């Protein structure tokens, strides 16, 4: 079992004000873990804690793109709740960007949150976990990381970067007692996917996604990928000859 038992330190969940982060944090708290939840929206964090009526959720307002604030928050969490034995980096953002309406500023914003935010969190987490010889970090990526999909190129590229980073860290950290995992969801019912105007195959309810993730955190496998249908489809897409893969993704272009 990778994730520490309840009562041993705490779990830190970033991006916990809504969506996957919120549901995962709530489930972990219900399971008895002390959970530090962070996001920019402090009102949503407090609402989450109040709605679940548990003393196990502890709110820390944070913008993960602010490196200094991330370091200070990590220190504050450990001072208040004990060592962070597990961190689940859920903070992320998404906005479709088509080739015809490409926006470098919006692209940079997504990279700043999705990759920059994860890097800012990894900085203090790796330093403390490697020093004590134990820890567990799970980074939320996406199945879109496996192959470029129309209108999601920027988002997918940022998530692919996280997978590559996690693969490298996994090998470096495992010998020192720190487990690195990557979480690759398909389409999950969240405020981010609500903006999509296309059909989302194998759409997963967010509570089901949280259950799958929490179960995966108790294993030592590198990747937590779901649903299995989307996992299989994206694996096949990645290994098809490019001509055939592009023929499939071309069907996603509506104009």
pLDDT in tens, 166-182: 999 999 999 999 999 99
The percentage of the chain sitting over the pLDDT mark of 70, rounded to a whole number, equals 92
Structure confidence at residue 28 (pLDDT): 95
User: CB 61: neighbour CB atoms within 10 A?
Assistant: 16
How does the average pLDDT of the chain come out, rounded? 91
Tell which residue, 207, 233, 211, has the closest CA to residue 224: 211
- Position 85 scores a pLDDT of 97
CA distances from 35 to 27, 121, 122, 149, 249 (A): 10, 16, 18, 35, 40
Whether the predicted model's global pTM rises above the 0.85 cut: yes
Note the pLDDT of residue 51: 75
Q: pLDDT > 90: what percent of the chain?
A: 76
pLDDT tens digits, 186-210: 988 876 666 666 667 788 899 999 9
DSSP string, 117-178: HHHHHHHHHHHHHHHHT-EEEEEE--GGGGS--TT-HHHHHHHHHHHHHHHHHHHHHHTTTE
Q: Distance between CA 77 and CA 64 in Å, rounded? A: 15
> In the predicted model, is pLDDT for residue 52 greater than 80?
no
Mean pLDDT to the nearest integer, 8-24: 93
Q: What is the mean pLDDT of residues 232-251?
A: 91
Give me the mean pLDDT over the 211-237 stretch: 95
Condensed to tens digits (0 to 9), the pLDDT of residues 67-96 reads: 999 999 999 999 999 999 999 999 999 999
Superfamily of domain 10-252, CATH level 4:
NAD(P)-binding Rossmann-like Domain (3.40.50.720)
Residue 114 DSSP code: I
pLDDT at 4: 61
Pick from 1-15, 48-62, 74-88 the range whose average pLDDT is largest.
74-88
Three-state DSSP class for residue 3: coil
User: At 1, is the pLDDT very low, low, confident or very high (cuts 50, 70, 90)?
Assistant: very low
pLDDT digit string, tens, across residues 125-164:
999 999 999 999 999 999 999 999 888 899 999 999 999 9
- Any idea where the domains of the chain sit in the sequence? 10-252
């Amino acid at each position: 079992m990778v994730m520490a038992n309840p009562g041993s330190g705490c779990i830190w969940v970033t991006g916990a004000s809504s969506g996957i982060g919120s549901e995962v944090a709530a489930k972990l708290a219900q399971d008895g873990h002390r959970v530090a939840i962070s996001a920019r929206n402090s009102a949503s964090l407090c609402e989450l804690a109040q709605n679940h009526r548990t003393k196990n959720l502890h709110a820390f307002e944070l913008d993960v793109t602010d490196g200094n604030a991330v370091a200070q928050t990590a220190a504050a969490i450990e001072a208040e709740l004990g060592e962070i034995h597990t961190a689940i980096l859920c903070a992320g953002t998404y906005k479709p960007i088509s080739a015809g309406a490409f926006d470098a500023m919006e692209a940079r914003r997504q990279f700043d949150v999705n990759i920059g935010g994860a890097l800012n969190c990894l900085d203090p987490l790796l330093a403390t976990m490697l020093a004590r010889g134990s820890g567990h970090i799970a980074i939320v990526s996406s199945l879109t990381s496996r192959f470029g999909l129309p209108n999601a190129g920027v988002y997918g590229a940022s998530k692919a970067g996280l997978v590559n980073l996690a693969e490298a860290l996994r090998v470096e950290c495992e010998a020192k007692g720190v487990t690195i995992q990557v979480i690759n969801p398909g389409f999950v019912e969240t405020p981010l996917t609500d903006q999509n105007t296309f059909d989302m195959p194998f759409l997963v309810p967010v509570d089901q996604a949280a259950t799958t993730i929490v179960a995966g955190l108790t294993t030592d496998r590198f990747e937590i990928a779901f649903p299995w249908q989307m996992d299989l489809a994206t694996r096949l897409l990645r290994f098809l000859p490019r001509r055939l893969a592009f023929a499939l993704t071309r069907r996603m272009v509506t104009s």
